[in-house]
């Protein structure tokens, strides 16, 4: 079996280090979005939420997002009501500054009740 050239091993390790660095930047943002999505779903399904004013529901979502360090503002949270349902939609953008590149991640957590 021929030996692998040293430069290939170094290149592979370097690629793994870069991928690990990217993951350490991006994974916490995506996990927090998943947690916010879960919170919005639980809030929309909660029977007590249908009797709460829209401003209170928005404040609850804003408070949860703030606890997670997510850049959600009051105008990013929309509450829509129908005769038998409640829908909460959140739209926000997280800017991630990576070395040599900046990316805006767009998130749209939302949920409705029936």
Whether 10 shows a pLDDT value over 90: the answer reads yes
User: Is position 1 within any domain?
Assistant: no
pLDDT tens-place string over residues 20-50: 999 999 999 999 999 999 999 999 999 888 8
User: Total domain count for the chain?
Assistant: 1
Range of the domain at 13: 6-112
User: Is position 79 within any domain?
Assistant: yes
Indicate the pTM of the whole model.
Answer: 0.84
Look at residue 94 in the predicted model and tell me its pLDDT.
Answer: 96
Q: What is the DSSP letter of 109?
A: -
pLDDT tens-place string over residues 69-85: 999 999 999 999 988 88
Weakest mean pLDDT among 6-10, 13-17, 105-109 = 6-10
Dihedral of alpha carbons 24, 25, 31, 32, sign: positive
């Amino acid at each position: 079996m021929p030996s692998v050239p040293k430069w290939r091993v170094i290149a592979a390790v370097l690629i793994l280090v870069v991928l690990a660095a990217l993951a350490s930047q991006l994974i916490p943002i995506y996990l927090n979005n998943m947690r916010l999505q879960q919170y919005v779903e639980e809030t929309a399904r909660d029977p007590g939420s249908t009797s709460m004013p829209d401003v209170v529901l928005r404040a609850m979502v804003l408070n949860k997002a703030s606890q997670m360090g997510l850049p959600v503002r009051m105008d990013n949270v929309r509450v829509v009501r129908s005769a038998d349902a409640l829908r909460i939609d959140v739209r926000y953008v997280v800017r991630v500054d990576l070395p040599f590149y900046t990316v805006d991640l767009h998130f749209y957590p939302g949920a409705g009740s029936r």
